[in-house]
């Protein structure tokens, strides 16, 4: 059974600092891995998707890396802004049918 | 246009009642899902349908019955509601298109409160 751990559980940084969010998973046989953002009381917004054959994906200030063999993914957010405050969730996908296994998330607060 | 839409967004009801949550996606996807987020914020899959066929059914009480009338809709019916059913239920969809990456798109969630 896939277990997903996200470290740290919470993070508070001043605006402008870079953020590093870690995700580890126990079963390296994944189809892909998705990073999401969840704002309080809201749904999940997909940030980045990394296929199992890829090492990283980038979108604007966001960069996600994947080391499948060691069961790790890292989300980097450059030059953080207060609008980046949210909970970030990592979710590896076990097969093409789409069962995502979610971590508990990292709650990020960026202070002005 | 909202890609994955759920109704209602909020639902407050008494124990023992039966309720339904509806989900529709306009992305042309073949696969739809129900996920549950409990009070501790953990998200877990409940069901997945591909082209109206059930493909994932996690350990969910049989009081929960999904129904997919067509591939754009996946509804969740819950019988004899219990206090522990209080949660946020998320619908999602993915797949079936040329060049599909397998990315999941989620709805805004339906917050169910059982009193």
Residues of B in contact with A2 (CB under 8 A): none
Residue A86 has pLDDT above 70, yes or no: yes
B97, pLDDT greater than 60: no
A44, pLDDT greater than 70: yes
What residues of chain B have any CB closer than 8 angstroms to a CB in chain A?
31, 33, 35, 40-45, 48, 50, 55-56, 90, 92, 94-95, 101-109
If you average pLDDT over residues B90-94, what whole number do you get? 93
Q: In what order do the strands lie in the sheet with A62-67?
A: A4-7, A19-25, A72-77, A62-67, A56-59
Q: What percentage of chain B carries pLDDT values higher than 90?
A: 67
Cβ distance of A43 and B106 shorter than 8 Å: yes
Gap between the Cα atoms of B5 and A44, Å rounded? 12
Roughly how many angstroms between the first and final C-alpha of chain B, as a whole number?
34
pLDDT for the residue B6? 96
pLDDT band, very low/low/confident/very high, at A100 (cuts 50, 70, 90): confident
Contacts of A66 in chain B (CB under 8 A): none
């Amino acid at each position: 059974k896939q277990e997903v751990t996200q470290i740290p559980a919470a993070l508070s940084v001043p605006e402008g600092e870079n953020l590093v969010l870690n995700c580890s998973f126990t079963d390296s046989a994944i189809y892909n891995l998705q990073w999401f953002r969840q704002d309080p009381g809201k749904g999940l917004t997909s940030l980045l998707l990394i296929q199992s054959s890829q090492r990283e994906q980038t979108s604007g200030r966001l960069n996600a890396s994947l080391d499948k063999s060691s069961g790790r993914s890292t989300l980097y957010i450059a030059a953080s802004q207060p609008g980046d405050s949210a909970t970030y969730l990592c979710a590896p996908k076990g097969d093409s049918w789409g069962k995502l296994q979610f971590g508990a998330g990292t709650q990020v607060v960026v202070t002005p | 246009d909202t890609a994955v839409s759920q109704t209602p967004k909020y639902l407050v009801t008494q124990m023992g009642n039966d309720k339904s949550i509806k989900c529709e996606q306009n992305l042309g996807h073949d696969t739809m899902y129900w996920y549950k987020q409990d009070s501790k914020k953990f998200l877990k899959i409940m069901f997945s349908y591909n082209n109206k066929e059930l493909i994932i059914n996690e350990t969910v009480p049989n009081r929960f019955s999904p129904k997919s009338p067509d591939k754009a809709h996946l509804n969740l019916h819950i019988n004899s509601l219990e206090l522990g059913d209080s949660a946020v239920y998320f619908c999602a969809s993915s797949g079936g298109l040329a060049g599909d990456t397998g990315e999941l798109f989620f709805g805004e969630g339906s917050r169910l409160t059982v009193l």
